[in-house]
Structure 1
Amino acid sequence: MPVDQTRSRVDGYDFRAPDSWDQFADVVALAYGGYAAVPEYRKIIGDIFEPKRSLLAHRAGETCATLALYSLDMSVPGGRQPIAGIGYVTVDPTHRRRGLMRGLLQRTLAGLYDRGEEAVAALHTTEPAIYGRFGFGSATRAVRIRIPRASRELTAPRTDPPTDPPPPVRVLDPARCGAEITRLYEHAIDRRPGMLRRDDTWMRRAVLDLPERRGGAGRLLCMLAGADDGEPARGYALYALTARWENSYPRYEVNVRELFANDPAAYASLWRALLDVDLGGTVVADRPVDDAVLALLDDPRSAAPVARDQLYTRPVDVGRALAGRGYGAEVDLVLAVADPICPWNEGRWRLRTGAHEAECARTSAPADLALTVRELGAVYLGGASLTQLAAAGRVVEHRAGALRAATRAFHHDPAPFCPTVF
């Protein structure tokens, strides 16, 4: 049954799909500080852009608000699922406080549900407090680490056989090793939830290095571990140096954009090489909250880790979303879900998980847990804890033991992580 779209109307504005990125560009630039995109960046954003899926608010011949929608493929507990990626949600400052953001989001989510498309939506946000109101929960976290060069003593990983030397590391221009980066990243996708598959266009964006967008850093460089004598590389790191001086001594920041490796030895070799960069003072990186580098450091406190929110997700269709992921334990639970933004999700849902598949369907049985769709979004990738959310008063347990069982089922190890911003 088609969803009623009257709730997403805003008087005086027309919502429609744009013809191209050009209809978004000016409003997006204004929303992000007024910086005009250089032609090369504008082209690659335009290549990624999906105009038929995106939405703008239009009035009197002008674009007043924007929402880009991307067709993404993401690793989730148990496999991969199509995800609706939301980006560039902006409103012209002269049209604020009129319900345009709400209208764009409601219309987009209702359209996804009505057409039977992606069951889950996801976004990165510059203002986290806004999107909880629309049912998006904090699903992944990153930890910012700042490792001083003085802390470069790392625990030696065990190897098999024990006599294997650490793989050598070479520094190259990323343009010369695109195939290796693509292969190694693809190998990493299914290791933890939250990772996005990248086609050629998304991969070009991942290694894009425009002087205008370096923020004072040098050019992007790539380290490859284990790529000698014709052997394939076993790991890579993308990084750039930012000049810093202390008391006339160089203390450059080594800013790591990405680092992935196929095995512990290659992983450790990359970190050793980063901590040994000439003129380097501190290695800075955003990593998964359970990243192995914190176990490699002899002095993990020296990294001064600071956790922050990262990706936000929300079910568009609760039944399909919960049935489409894997679980860490078998459960039979009834969830009472509240979702004022997407009312078709309201009600009680019975979730039954088995060894290889899950079912989630409407039920009239009494609820075991009560929560909003925001909490379901937070635990969808297995990073957030239902027990923690209950302690904050955001989940209510109606049957003893249901909370503990649900927490075990939704949890995933390793923790989710999403290094690709969209």
Structure 2
Amino acid sequence: MPSSRAPDGSRYSLRTASDRDWRDLTRTIELSYGGHPDPAEVHQVNKDLFEPERSLATYHRDKICATALVYSLNMTIPGGIQPIAGIGYVSVDPTHRRRGLMSEMMANILHGLHHSGTEPVAALQPSESAIYSRLGFGAANQVVRLEIPRKPHAFSLLPRGEDLPATIIDPQTCLDEIRDVYQANVPQRAGMLHYDKRWAAKAVLDPPTARNGAAPLQCLTVSEAGAPAGYALFTTRPQDDSPDPPLAVLVRELFATSPKAYAQLWRTLLDLDLSTTVIAHTRPLDDTLLVLLDDPRSAVPTVRDQLHVRLIDVDRALALRTYSAEVDVVIETTDRLCEWNVGRWRIQGGPEGASCTRTTSAPDLVMSVRELGSAYLGGISLTQLARAGRIEEMRTGALDAACRAFRTDPLPFCSLMF
């Protein structure tokens, strides 16, 4: 693997990680993310997910100073669930920043994925959204944080029928039920990740030292026809230091298998005793809650980006997904890091499948690989990107046709951090 020189003349070396590197890797990760050590429970779950043969560490004088972990994930893309490379815990020791270490690691990962012929798509969830665009990652979806005042009768229009059986229990005692409901939702939205037991454990992590004054994590469940129909992972936290402080209800995750179960979960959370506010930290931009509420203006939104997608191999990635409408378009792409993606590509396909082949035909659209990453899951409009000056239309009508084909409904969403 390549190496570079530090300012003092010594060399950095980039290597594949190993199991014995875990302690040094976590030290560097914690240092780069503010210096707060993770609780032992978090360390164990992250270690269980660690894939050393796919991850990288940069060394300086035999000490790890930068990291990049790669996970083998299965994500819903338009048309089905497919393997993708998840990139996480990209970190650089503060005393070694601004030396190109992160860029070198990321380029190595991208080239390695291409030469191995494994996943044609990579994704990450950056803590700082502006960093990865220069590496060809495009912001592929948006999520919303909702802050809603408590309201006992927030919905007047509800699915008909009697209330479903509900209970509040410890999430650790109902992991199978949680996973069943979650898995039923995975195929419905691009961006959703398939759970296995290791990722399920991460979803319900609740170390006491990381609660910041909140109560232990709880799980509200509802059942329908004798089977699990929905769950919400939530906690409560005092909003001030008074003797009897009002509570904020903090919703980590909520999924259901029917409209009735979904509505009942939210109605219960919006009517918990002693609470004044419900805060849903990460919800889809087109969350059904926003049309259930009689007063949608009461839900104060904060919108941000979430998944950033990078096409490793343009042809394989674009042929992997389906398209919402029939499309036949030639796209000319540029790619600063992955020269094999540079050129013109003809996409032909529709709802049943697609092909993508190299061509010498005149281009209909011109863009960088970053824009393709943004549009890949169907959550960001090609038309919006063109209006921002990031796509050039060479044939009239090509942009509208491609935009219809790439877009998806519902919008992409990922509930799990990786």
Q: Same fold (TM over 0.5)?
A: yes
1:151 positional shift: 7.1
2:403 to 398, 407, 411: 407
Stretches of structure 2 lacking an aligned partner (at least 5 in a row): 6-10
Output the CA distance in 2 between the equivalents of 1:151 and 1:379: 40
The equivalent residue for 2:337 is: 341
| 1:154-205: CA deviation from partner (whole Å, max 9, x where unpaired) | 133334xxxx212132111111111100100000101111000111011011
Q: Would you say 1:33 and 2:34 are equivalent positions?
A: yes
1:234-257 deviation per Cα after TM superposition (whole angstroms, max 9, x unaligned): 100000101114987632111101
Asked if structure 2 preserves the Cα contact closer than 8 Å seen for 1:10 and 1:99, the reply is no
Any residues of structure 2 matched to 1:7-406 within 5 Å, and which? 9-11=3-5, 12-20=11-19, 21-150=22-151, 152-159=153-160, 164-226=161-223, 231-245=226-240, 250-285=245-280, 286-406=282-402
The SS at the match of 1:52 is helix
Distance in 2 between residues matched to 1:119 and 1:100, nearest whole Å: 24
Contact conserved, 1:140 with 1:418, CA < 8 A, in 2? no
Shift of 1:208: 1.0
- How far off its partner does 1:383 sit? 0.2
Once residues 266 and 153 of structure 2 are traced to their aligned partners in structure 1, the CA distance between those partners, rounded to angstroms, is 9
Per the TM alignment, residue 45 of structure 1 is displaced from its structure 2 partner at its CA by 0.6
Question: Residues 314 and 151 of structure 1: is their aligned pair in 2 closer, same or farther, counting only changes over 3 Å?
Answer: farther
Per-residue deviation, 1:44:
1.0
Q: Distance in 1 between matches of 2:323 and 2:351?
A: 8
Give yes or no for contact 2:146–2:300 (8 Å, CA) kept in 1: yes
Alpha-carbon distance, 1:102 to partner: 0.6
- Counterpart code for 2:344: R
Tell me if structure 2 keeps the 8 A contact 1:149–1:282.
yes
Using the TM superposition, give the Cα deviation of residue 372 of structure 1 relative to its aligned residue in structure 2, in angstroms.
Answer: 0.6
- Letter of the 2:14 partner, please give it: F
Between the aligned partners of 1:376 and 1:215, the Cα distance in structure 2 is 39
Shift in Å at residue 152 of structure 1? Answer: 4.3
Work out whether residues 39 and 210 of structure 2, in 8 Å CA contact, stay in contact via their aligned partners in 1: no
Q: CA deviation at 1:366?
A: 0.5
Shift of 1:96: 1.2
Matches of 1:92 and 1:280 in 2, distance apart? 41
Q: Counterpart of 1:130 in 2: which secondary structure?
A: coil
**CA RMSD across the alignment:** 1.5
Measured in 2, the distance between the counterparts of 1:150 and 1:93 equals 46
- Partners of 2:68 and 2:91 within 8 A in 1: yes
Q: CA deviation at 1:354?
A: 3.3
Query: Is the CA contact 1:112–1:316 (under 8 Å) kept in the aligned structure 2?
Result: yes
TM-score under structure 2 length normalisation? 0.95
Percentage of matched positions with identical amino acids: 49
SS at match of 2:98: coil
CA distance in 2, matches of 1:43, 1:78: 34
Looking at structure 2, the residues matched to 25 and 88 of structure 1 have their Cα atoms a distance apart, in angstroms, of 9
Contact 1:14 / 1:57 at 8 angstroms: preserved in 2? yes
Between the aligned partners of 1:63 and 1:277, the Cα distance in structure 2 is 48
In structure 2, the partner of 1:421 is 417
Q: Distance in 1 between matches of 2:247 and 2:343?
A: 55
Tell me the amino acid that sits aligned with residue 23 of structure 2.
D
Provide closer, same or farther for how the CA distance between residues 80 and 47 of structure 1 changes in structure 2, counting only shifts above 3 A: same
- The offset of 1:59, in angstroms, is 2.0
Rounded Cα–Cα distance in structure 2 between residues aligned with 1:66 and 1:246: 40
User: Is 2:147–2:299's contact at 8 Å kept on the other side of the alignment?
Assistant: yes
CA distance in 1, matches of 2:403, 2:368: 16
Q: Which runs of 5+ in 1 are unaligned?
A: none
Q: Secondary structure at the match of 1:122?
A: strand
CA distance in 1, matches of 2:233, 2:301: 20
Specify the code of the residue in structure 2 equivalent to 1:15.
Answer: L
Give CA deviations for 1:262-286 in whole Å, capped at 9, x if unaligned: 1111001000110111211111112
Task: Find the residue that maps to 1:150 and give its secondary structure.
Answer: coil
The answer (yes or no) to whether the contact 2:325–2:404 under 8 Å persists in 1 is: yes
Distance 1:10 1:259, change over 3 A: same
State the shift of 1:38 in Å: 2.2
How far apart, in 2, do the equivalents of 1:185 and 1:158 lie? 21
Q: Which amino acid letter does the alignment assign opposite residue 215 of structure 2?
A: G
2:53 partner SS: coil
Letter in 1 for 2:13: D
Contact 1:169 1:225 in 2 (8 A): yes
Whole-angstrom distance in 2 between the partners of 1:343 and 1:216: 50
User: Offset at 1:61?
Assistant: 1.0
Maintained 8 Å contact 2:79/2:351 = no
Q: Report if the CA contact (8 A) 2:152-2:271 is conserved.
A: no
